[in-house]
């Protein structure tokens, strides 16, 4: 069996993606420890998590174009290498301002990884397993949060934050070696004209991608998913009973992964991908509303996480389903990353403000409304594609 027919490259890229998601998880899951390490940060502490998404917000589509020109394999290796270097520097112990600067650089690495990795998975996965492979890729955030909750926090509590940063750097360095040695395609067939890299070309490309109900479909829903996912994993724990808190916080991302890989994969055999995503939005909105009636219920939290897992895996599968060429997929993954980083960046500060104004009930009500909007927009885009 050739390497392109094997699932080994998919698994190696997925493991690299888990490390990329760790760039968010290592701050979100240990947020209290980060606050203790930087007591002078004050209200700026939230930027330690959200500033990672700046590069993706402004450069998501540009990254899709550049990755197509540079080559997906080289883009992925470059992003992994930069991420490893940044984590090793963070392990040295930095002032808060220097730490924020390192997070901005880390955001560039994250963007390169999340644009190149799913595009490569769609190319190297056996055709009959492509939906499964992209669903597996979609679990990388959930797996990372579970690992950092169950392994990262104990590591920090015994050895400190710097040990966790060093361990993350080792993971990313190992990912560089793995990706470099599995024989991924060089992608030299991808050509991008220099005109696309001018300011006018970049703006035109944004317009082309934004107005396409095929290239922007996954990204639109992903914006509302990411707005809620990281924010709720960060803000829900204080409202869960202490005796259930550690278990629930660790089990939520794991439940998301299990749901995506079992129920999600099964539903994709019978339903259209967009309908699986819509179902995930509707169930997760219902779970958020239920959490108003049963505050901090571990069961309701796990239902919420499971429903979010349906959105997670199917959203990545939607990109190659709606976009035939590698260039269109790269553009779709670029705006996908842009939307995800925007959601991750603004989600926690906005929902934190909601908690300050209206408490726990406001947090869950606003989350439910946003999830319902995500379902509605997928319906609008589905009808636009039908007209096209």
SS (H, E, C) the chain: CCCCCCCHHHHHHHHHHHHHHHHHHHHHCCHHHHHHHCHHHHHHHHHHHHHHHHHHHHHHHHHHHHHHHHCHHHHHHHHHHHHHHHHHHHCCCCCHHHHHHHHHHHHHHHHHHHHHHHHHHHHHCCHHHHHHHHHHHCCHHHHHHHHHHHHHHHHHHHHCHHHHHHHHHHHHHHHHHHHHHCCCCCCCCCCCCHHHHCHHHHHHHHHHHHCCCCCCHHHHHHHHHHHHHHHHHHHCHHHCCHHHHHHHHHHHHHHHHHHHHHHHHHHHCCCCHHHHHHHHHHHHHHHHHHHHHCCCCHHHHHHHHHHHHHHHHHHHHHHHHHCCCHHHHHHHHHHHHHHHHHHHHHHHHHHHHHHHHHHHHHHHHHHHHHHHHHHHHHHHHHHHHHHC
Q: What averages of pLDDT result for each successive group of 10 residues across the chain (388 residues)?
A: 68 95 90 90 83 81 79 92 97 95 94 89 84 84 84 93 96 96 68 60 78 87 90 86 84 85 88 93 96 93 93 86 78 84 83 90 95 95 88
Q: Which residues contact 256 (CB under 8 A, 6 or more apart)?
A: 139, 141, 142, 305, 306, 308, 309, 312
Residue 4 pLDDT: 45
In whole angstroms, what is the distance from residue 249 CA to residue 105 CA? 28
Residue 51 pLDDT: 84
Residue 93 pLDDT: 93
- Greatest alpha-carbon pair distance for the chain in Å reads 59
Residue 151 pLDDT: 92
Cβ atoms < 10 Å from Cβ of 128: 7
Residue 298 pLDDT: 92
In whole angstroms, what separates CA 322 from the centre of its chain? Answer: 20
Q: Token pair for residue 146?
A: 């579970």
Any idea which fold 8-387 has? Growth Hormone; Chain: A; (1.20.1250)
Residue 195 pLDDT: 52
Residue 248 pLDDT: 87
Residue 251 pLDDT: 85
Q: Token pair for residue 318?
A: 């939607």
User: The pTM is what?
Assistant: 0.80
């Amino acid at each position: 069996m050739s390497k392109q027919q094997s699932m080994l490259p998919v698994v190696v890229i997925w493991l690299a993606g888990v490390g990329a998601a760790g760039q968010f998880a290592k701050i979100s899951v240990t947020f209290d420890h980060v606050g203790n390490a930087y007591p002078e940060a004050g209200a700026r502490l939230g930027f330690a998590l959200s500033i990672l998404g700046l590069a993706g917000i402004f450069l998501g589509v540009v990254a899709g174009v550049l990755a197509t020109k540079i080559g997906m394999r080289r883009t992925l290796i470059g992003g992994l290498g930069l991420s490893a270097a940044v984590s090793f520097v963070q392990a040295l112990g930095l002032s808060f301002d220097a730490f924020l600067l390192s997070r901005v650089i880390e955001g560039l690495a994250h963007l390169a990884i999340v644009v190149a990795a799913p595009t490569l998975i769609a190319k190297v996965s056996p055709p009959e397993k492509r939906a499964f492979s992209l669903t597996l890729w979609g679990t990388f955030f959930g797996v990372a949060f579970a690992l950092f909750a169950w392994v990262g926090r104990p590591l920090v509590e015994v050895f400190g934050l710097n040990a966790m940063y060093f361990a993350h750097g080792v993971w990313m360095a190992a990912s560089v070696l793995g990706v470099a040695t599995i024989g991924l395609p060089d992608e030299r067939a991808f050509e991008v004209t220099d005109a696309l890299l001018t300011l006018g070309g970049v703006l035109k490309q944004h317009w082309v991608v934004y107005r396409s109900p095929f290239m922007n479909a996954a990204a639109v829903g992903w914006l509302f998913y990411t707005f809620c996912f990281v924010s709720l994993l960060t803000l829900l724990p204080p409202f869960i009973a202490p005796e259930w808190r550690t278990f629930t916080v660790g089990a939520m991302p794991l439940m998301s992964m299990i749901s995506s890989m079992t129920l999600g994969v099964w539903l994709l055999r019978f339903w259209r991908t967009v309908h699986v995503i819509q179902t995930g939005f509707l169930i997760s909105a219902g779970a958020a509303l239920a959490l108003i009636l049963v505050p901090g219920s571990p069961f309701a939290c796990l239902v919420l996480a499971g429903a979010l897992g349906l959105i997670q895996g199917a959203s990545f599968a939607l990109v190659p389903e709606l976009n035939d060429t590698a260039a269109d997929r790269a553009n779709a993954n670029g705006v996908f990353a842009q939307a995800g980083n925007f959601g991750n960046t603004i989600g926690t500060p906005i929902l934190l403000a909601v908690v300050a104004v209206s408490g726990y009930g406001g947090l869950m009500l606003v989350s439910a409304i946003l999830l319902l909007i995500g379902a509605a927009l997928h319906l609008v885009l589905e009808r636009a594609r039908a007209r096209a």
